[in-house]
Amino acid sequence: MTPTEQEIERLEAKAQSIRETILEMLIAAGSGHPAGPLGLADIFAAFYFHILAHDPKNPDWDGRDRLVLSNGHTVPVRYAAMAHAGYFPLEECKTLRKFGARLQGHPERLRLPGLETTSGPLGEGLSQAAAMAYGLRMDGKKNRTYVVMGDGEQNEGQVWEAAMWTGKQRLGNLTAVIDRNNIQIDGMTEDVMPLESLRAKYEAFNWHVLEVNGNDIRAFIEKVDEAKAIYEKPTVIIAHTIPGKGVKEIEFDYRWHGAPPGAGPEDVWSKKEQGREMLKELRSLRGKLPHEYA
């Protein structure tokens, strides 16, 4: 269903809250990845507050859509979205990466209800999601399966094995989202291992390919709706996002891929200042939201 203008404003406010929670989590943990999660906040706000069929009070509900996070290092964005959606108390986000905590640095399915898979090694999520979609279709169920992948993750051979098999099976109930933020831990993707033309590659494997500004919530939802109308093949949405979105000083800087506030480059702020200043900058964006949502 197409969201109203008021609903879009609500989703944008959710994305803003998710970004703030991500930074608070990383500051408390003293480790973790900021760039990807901040860039994905709009997509996860759209998933948890508009797109997915899910029930935070009954995470194993049989009628739920499946959401697989393949690039598991970006899990702070999923934890933050889940907490704001009511899966667990918001205060628990501060336990990120703590010994014995449910919120580990990569998602662990058996620790936290609401996670479909455990992910760590890159490249596995598309295979897992394809199997879920295939099983749901075998059972005659209408649930949809979504998988979020990183663009650097496309370097993994298993991704392309899964893409080939999924295309052969014509899994129209599967939608993949590639976070096309152009960075990975060692540099810009096109310098490390060029991916383009990413569209042509997936089309060659019998996928329906869409591209979108992944930081435009309305546009992303429209592309997901279009994917639902494609029944004869799987769909991949190449979502162009800004890594580090919301903190101008770290946007598009691959050095912040895996450096949390307090451990990043000191071009702008000293390590001691980074957490405070980054959070201050993010919170200043509240004033740009409609008053009732700020």
Tens of pLDDT, residues 218-276? 999 999 999 999 999 999 999 999 999 999 999 999 999 999 999 999 999 999 999 99
- Determine the pLDDT at residue 125: 97
Distance from the first to the final alpha carbon of the chain: 25
Residue 109 tokens, joined: 């399915």
Alpha-carbon span 214 to 242, nearest angstrom: 8
Question: In a 3-state reduction of DSSP, which class is residue 84?
Answer: helix
Least Cα distance to 279 among 73, 46, 16, 32 occurs for 16
Q: How far apart are CA 197 and CA 180, in angstroms?
A: 12
- Count CA within 13 A, CB hemisphere, residue 78: 27
Strand ranges, E, within 71-173? 145-150
Q: What is the pLDDT of residue 287?
A: 67
Q: Are 257 and 185 a contacting pair, CB within 8 Å?
A: yes
Dist. CA 74–CA 181, nearest whole Å: 12
Q: How many residues does the chain have?
A: 294
The structure tokens listed for 263 are 């451990």
pLDDT at 2: 83
Residue 172 near residue 136, CB atoms below 8 Å: no
Determine the pLDDT at residue 288. 66
- The Cα–Cα gap between 283 and 60 comes to 34
- pLDDT, residue 293, reads 40
What is the identity of the amino acid at 104? Q
* pLDDT of 223: 98
Task: With a cut of 70, list the residues of the chain below it in pLDDT.
Answer: 287-294
- pLDDT for 45: 98
Cβ-contact 216, 241 below 8 angstroms: no
CATH class of 5-293: alpha beta
Measured at the CA of 208, the angle between CA 53 and CA 54, to 5 degrees, comes to 5
| pLDDT of 294 | 39
Q: Please, which residues bridge with residue 188 across strands?
A: 183
The H-assigned helical ranges of the chain are: 5-29, 35-46, 75-85, 125-138, 157-169, 189-192, 198-204, 217-228, 271-284
Query: What phi, psi does 159 have (nearest 5°)?
Result: -55, -45
Nearest to 72 by CA among 18, 22, 119: 119
